[in-house]
Structure 1
Amino acid sequence: MDKNFLTPAETVRTIMENGKRVASQPLSRTVVLSLLAGFYIAFGAELATVVSAGTADKLGQGIARLLAGSVFSLGLMLVVICGAELFTGNSLLTKTALLGEITWGKLLENWAVVLLGNFVGSLFFAWLMYRSNLWQAPLIAEQAIAIATAKTQLPFDVALVRGILCNWLVCLAVFMATAARDIPGKMLACFGPIMAFVASGFEHSIANMYFIPTGLLLAREFPGTDPSLTWSNFFIGNLLPVTLGNIIGGVVFVAFAYWFIHLRGGKVDP
């Protein structure tokens, strides 16, 4: 009887093969898939904003974060099951580069294209949500602005560490989803780690490409918004350290760790 999951060694081998395919696919395909990932993560972020609006006052901060993380996991489910290129998940391509199956230049090229595509997709989705007027529902705009403001106020080192912890979990979610061989298994693999990182308050660069621009767009409708909510604080104060942290978390604690265990020396464990 066939297993309904892959072993860790088999999962590493599958991720390595996927890395070779992703790195060799046409640029146009990578661009479209990265745009889709930006949309999908933004769907989860938007839903988390709506669900958490006013929830903490009634149910407590912990429950509000749990609910937000639970619905935010939709984003990675869409990425994994429907197919898309997510910058944070593509940290796992490092395994393929470490084995010499793709060049480091190809890896960096993929990261640059996917990061830009994720950004454009997230930003466009933020604009769509702003134009939808759904933020006019009670407390939703205030929640969106509060989320964005809190993120732009993080010290550089704090944002960096939260980025590391976040993508450690995100890449583990991708690892487990790759191991799962059916859709319910992939959904469950995405749910646990993603719920955990959101509930914990960790920082995800692609999610922040939706959260913070949405807050910035809405702030124009609400005079008196905290002055720390600016585009420069978004790019320099949050996106830069969080992106660096995401790279460290995914590359060191997942990609490198499992390369060391299963692929070191150029041989793949059976």
Structure 2
Amino acid sequence: MSYVSPPEFVQKMIDAGESKAFMSTRDTMIRAYMAGAVLALSAAFAVTVTVQTGEALLGAVLFPVGFCLLYLLGFDLLTGVFTLVPLALIDRRPGVTPRSVLRNWGLVFTGNFAGALTVAVMMAVIFTVGFSMEPNEIGRQIGSIGEGRTVGYAEHGAAGMLTLFVRAVLCNWMVSTGVVAAMMSTSVSGKVIAMWMPVMLFFYMGFEHSILNMYLFPSGLMLGGDFSIMDYLVWNELPTVAGNLVGGLTFVGLTLYATHARTAGSLDRPTPQKIDAPVKVDA
């Protein structure tokens, strides 16, 4: 059967985290760069579909195409390594240290940002015909997304920051569930179906994904969005990274590890009482 039981795929999660902690700088950067680029293309595709059809749900249904492709190709998103790599440290895998975990996170963040920014520049060229005219309708929509999800939060002060953080937590709860779900099956179709559902949910609900935002916000700045780089960093990217870390590690990585890799053990079963057979008395 293609289904992998939870105790088995949790061990795969730990093994994957260990492998990523020891991956070379070169390979980590290449895989992170490509993951950021593919996810950015998927975001551009989803926004295009939404604008052209007027159906946000359709854009959300189609967005997971990029997510599924990048994980099937073995590329890495920061949201995924937030969940997997610390498990190797918690499981005390030899050689895995806090420094190696932070090194992996830093390299993946850098690679993801570079990949997403590359696509942002390319798509801005397309939306403005080489910056020779005003952005088209899709470009204007991307600019408005960046403005609403930076300045829009800032207008509410602390309440806006809390909302942003909670949306980021919920985002990586779903995205990391998609990452883990790919390990539940040994077939390509099973992996895709399992990944598709939580990723579609996060996108339609408007939760905050740090890598997706690495495309949307720089792109919005290039396409005339009325916000600054500091607005982007303070009122979106940095709180989103923190929320994604909490959401993925707490609600996915640690919960699965605690109950399937470090099970607390079963309660003692009560001993069945033996009932003596009735004594038969001859008449």
| Counterpart pick for 2:104 among 110, 116, 126 | 110
Q: Whole-Å Cα distance in 1 between the matches of residues 200 and 232 of structure 2?
A: 24
Q: Matched residues in 1 for 2:97 and 2:66: separation? A: 29
The answer to whether the 8 A contact 1:130-1:214 is kept is: yes
Distance 1:255 1:127 in 2: 34
Partner of 1:85: 76
Q: Evaluate the alpha carbon distance shift between residue 137 and residue 234 of structure 1 in structure 2; reply closer, same or farther with a 3 A threshold.
A: closer
SS in 2 for 1:88: helix
Q: State the AA in 1 paired with 2:87.
A: K
What percentage of residue pairs aligned between the two structures are identical? 31
Equivalents in 1 of 2:57, 2:195: separation in Å? 15
Deviations 1:82-117 (A, max 9, x none): 110110011222221110112222111101110111
Alignment size in residue pairs: 251
Distance verdict in 2 for CA 1:137–1:238, change over 3 Å: closer
Distance 1:5 1:54 in 2: 38
Other-structure match for 2:270:
none
The equivalent residue for 1:68 is 59
For structure 1, which runs of at least 5 residues remain unmatched after alignment? 57-63, 220-224
Query: Which deviates more, 85-94 or 200-209?
Result: 85-94
Tell me if structure 1 keeps the 8 A contact 2:127–2:136.
no
Q: Does 1:235 align with 2:226?
A: no
Q: What are the superposed Cα offsets for residues 162-215 of structure 1, whole Å, 9 maximum, x if unpaired?
A: 000000000101111111211111111121101100111111000000011111
- 1:158 deviates by 1.1
Matched, 1:171 2:176: yes
Q: Extract unaligned runs of 5+ from structure 2.
A: 154-159, 266-283
* 3-state SS of 1:53 partner: helix
Residue 134 of structure 1, CA deviation: 6.7
Alignment equivalent of 2:121, drawn from 104, 127, 133: 127
Q: After TM superposition, what 4+ stretches of structure 1 lie above 6 angstroms from structure 2?
A: 134-137
Q: Give the Å deviation of 1:263.
A: 2.3
TM-score, normalised with respect to structure 1: 0.88
Whether contact under 8 Å (2:127, 2:138) holds in the other structure is: no
Tell me the residue number matched to 1:264.
Answer: 262
Paired residue for 1:162? Answer: 167
Per the TM alignment, residue 266 of structure 1 is displaced from its structure 2 partner at its CA by 11
Aligned partners of 1:42 and 1:95: how far apart in 2?
28
Q: How does 1:195-206 map to 2 (within 5 A)?
A: 195-206=200-211
Partner amino acid for 1:71?
L
Say if 2:212 is the partner of 1:210.
no
Q: What is the TM-score of this pair, normalised by structure 2?
A: 0.84
* Secondary structure of 2:2 counterpart: coil
Q: Report deviation, 1:55.
A: 4.0
- SS of the aligned residue for 1:245 comes to helix
Is the contact between residue 52 and residue 68 of structure 1 (CA under 8 Å) also seen in structure 2? yes
Residues in 2 aligned to 1:137 and 1:150: alpha-carbon distance in whole angstroms: 18
Structure label with greater radius of gyration: 2
Report if the CA contact (8 A) 2:127-2:139 is conserved: no
Change (3 A) 1:133 1:200: closer
Distance change (3 Å), C-alpha of 1:197 and 1:239: same
1:86–1:197 distance in 2 versus 1, CA, 3 Å = same
Change over 3 Å in CA distance of 1:265–1:183 after alignment to 2: closer
Q: CA offset at residue 125 of structure 1?
A: 0.9
